[in-house]
Structure 1
Amino acid sequence: AFGHPEWAVLAKRAADFVLRELFEGGVLWRSFRDGVRRVEGRIEDYGALAEGLIELYMATFEPAYLESAAQLAEAALDLFWDEDAGGFLSAPEGEGLIAAVYALTDEAAPSGASSLSHALVRLTGL
């Protein structure tokens, strides 16, 4: 990892923590404190983590990270894809929102739909 093998070790430690503590039963959580998970993840959380896990796989060639990225992407499709509209929701249906909100545009950071789409494309090639 850029001539710094310790960066891969740190990235693995962070990814292992997130996968162990914040991703369970197809649900990704946004925060964790004192053993308590809070706030379910949004599409940008799923997309960014899936991309990060793919990069970690590419750096370490440890298949567990690629498998976790695929599981995360599959969970995100189940939660956020709206077949009728042909687009990704920003939050899962049933979140108490008055109207469905779609992840349509990128701004300073990529939208969750862009991150997730990029991860899905990369997963098909790996």
Structure 2
Amino acid sequence: MAAEEQPLLGRDRGSGQVHSGAAADQELCIDQAVVFIEDAIKYRSIYHRMDAGSLWLYRWYYSNVCQRVLGFIIFLILILAFVEVPSSFTKTADVRYRSQPWQPPCGLTETIEAFCLLAFLVDLSVKVKEIK
């Protein structure tokens, strides 16, 4: 029987004898409870996989570090609009005193966009894997 098919917060109601893997089962139940509580606090959906590997991936994805990196990547892709040509972002609105906009080196913005696209594809694949 797979880990997802077992009751989520099941307990050993037998004679009290410890069977092999009881500690791992208890740890999995605790991790599942922690994820349910975190989902409730953050108003996230509870429709995701609950086996040990998926729980690790889910908790890693919603960790502060991963979410900050993802937020920075979103910021980076949006800020490129102010750097790429044609850009109306200048020091002054007066046409007489307007200098030439900064021209980034060839391939810099394309490399950043490719990196962001790769990060978004990884983000999408993690989200697809977590859906039942």
Q: Scaled by the length of structure 1, what TM-score is found?
A: 0.31
Q: Which has the larger radius of gyration?
A: 2
What's the TM-score, normalizing by structure 2? 0.30
Higher strand share: 1
Which structure features the higher share of helix residues?
A: 2
